Amino acid sequence: MISSAKSSACFAEAKKYIPGGVNSPVRAFRSVGLDPRFIRKGKGSRIYDIDGNEYIDYVCSWGPCILGHAYPPVINAVKEVCENGLTFGAPTERETELARLIIEAVPAIDRVRLVSSGTEAVMSAIRVARGFTKRNKIIKFTGNYHGHSDGLLVKAGSGLLTESIPDSGGVPEGYVAYTLLADYNNEDSVKALFDAEKDDIAALIVEPVAANMGVVPPKPGFLEFLRDITEKNGSLLIFDEVITGFRLSYGGAGEYFGVKPDMVTLGKIVGGGMPLAAYGGRADVMGVIAPEGPVYQAGTLSGNPVAVTAGIETLKALKDNKELYESIDRKAAVLEKAFRDSGRTVNRVGSLLSAFFTDKEVTNYATALSSDTKAFASYFGRMLEEGIYVAPSQFEAMFVSAAHTDEDIERTAKAIQVCAK
């Protein structure tokens, strides 16, 4: 048994001051029945907790750390830019540089706004879609998670699934009246909503690869179907690429699948581990945003120079080393095979994967929910004992980074074959 005495003591102390002892629910390890590990440091593929334990990390801060922890070019650039001050609330040249990098990388983005979190990016994109179309309703999919803005906390994934609170408290009925629910990979469920509401659907938002009910790939043709039905009905298609952006390829899921949405939300990797996210899309759609147009969105730290610097250095590293995508995909395939050889259901797209403790093929919310979360909790605990840190939830993804070595992958595959049976 590896010691977690210091983490447990810190967790008890934290709970005196912070609800649940954490600043984001899924970190609390509640669904796996353990005390969370308090992390002291990360370097490359490793994280180290305050009890001195070392782990191979596949959470990667829920996706941002595609280059591994403390990637030197990012750290050095951030250190340097901090010397000039942290924030001005005024435009800086670096914001334009990052905006240009994003627009060059993501086919669907003609113009982009920088914000501070994925939640803020999605909330803003939804408002822009409503402002542009002058329609009210939004379609989302059960099990998709788009951050914690009120209107989207309806049958959402990620921590809401993990904690079995699919509809958050504190959200008045009226706030979700315009949120319509469809079933992922189920074209008929989408058609039915358009048949019933077509003249008032502003947008359909989708995780092009669902990763908040565990990883659930779009079935062949599903994204093309969504592109077609939204276009036919004058609604906007929004790809929530907070996870898939710069992850599936340098151009994200849009490039990976060859489907061009009207808007894209980005987070995680785009900020290189700092609080930075973005939303963008067609020039005409983005033209409604204040001060050019009537749709308001603002932020004290939007485009913060330090966060923007981390984002620029991260995207430059990815842009100059695109072969890393093939490498991390190949490494993830080794883990996928280890899970399959252990009898697990596995979904993988690129370097994103999830193993499920169910005999069903996991293609949507209902089949994801058929997973045995107690069996997952036992697997999680055994992996932690092996020094492998995966997400403390059946309904999250495993992320492979460029820092994971072949030895890391081999050791992890061996641990999977012991722990995931």
10: left (phi over 0), alpha (psi -120 to 50) or beta: alpha
> Is residue 267 near ligand KE4 by the rule CB under 6 A?
yes
Helix (H, G, I), strand (E, B) or coil at 236: strand
For ligand KE4, what does the binding mask look like between residues 4 and 43, x meaning CB under 6 A? --------------------x-x-----------------
Distance (Å, whole) CA 234 – CA 220: 23
Give the residue with the Cβ less far from ligand KE4, 124 or 386.
Answer: 124
Choose which of 66, 153, 205, 243 interacts with ligand KE4 (CB under 6 A). Answer: 243
> Is residue 145 near ligand KE4 by the rule CB under 6 A?
yes
Residues 71 and 281: beta-carbon distance below 8 Å: no
Contacts of 257 (CB under 8 A, 6+ apart): 208, 218, 223
Q: Name the token pair of 146.
A: 């788009």
In the chain, the amino acid numbered 263 is: M
Distance (Å, whole) CA 166 – CA 389: 25
DSSP class of residue 251? T
| In the complex, least distance from residue 152 CB atom to ligand KE4, rounded to whole angstroms | 9
Choose which of 153, 205, 242, 383 interacts with ligand KE4 (CB under 6 A). Answer: 242
- Report long-range pairs for 231-234 (Cβ below 8 Å, ≥24 apart): 233/194, 233/198, 233/201, 234/133
From the CA atom positions of the chain, what is the Rg in Å? 21
Catalytic residues: 145, 240, 268
CA–CA distance from 40 to each of 26, 48, 72 (Å)?
19, 6, 18
Distance (Å, whole) CA 275 – CA 385: 31
> Is residue 186 near ligand KE4 by the rule CB under 6 A?
no
Span interacting with ligand KE4, options 115-123, 323-331, 351-359, 370-378, rule CB under 6 A? 115-123
- Within 157-176, the residues that bind ligand KE4 by CB under 6 A are 158-159
**Residue position matching structure tokens 């050095």:** 76
Span interacting with ligand KE4, options 78-86, 113-121, 335-343, 366-374, rule CB under 6 A? 113-121
Residues 389 and 45: beta-carbon distance below 8 Å: no
Span interacting with ligand KE4, options 66-74, 145-153, 279-287, 367-375, rule CB under 6 A? 145-153
> Is residue 279 near ligand KE4 by the rule CB under 6 A?
no
Name the residue number minimizing CB distance to ligand KE4.
Answer: 118
Give the residue with the Cβ less far from ligand KE4, 158 or 354.
Answer: 158
- Within 355-414, the residues that bind ligand KE4 by CB under 6 A are 396
Choose which of 42, 118, 218, 305 interacts with ligand KE4 (CB under 6 A). Answer: 118
Residues binding ligand KE4 (CB under 6 A): 24, 26, 62, 117-119, 122, 145-147, 158-159, 207, 212, 240, 242-243, 267, 277, 396
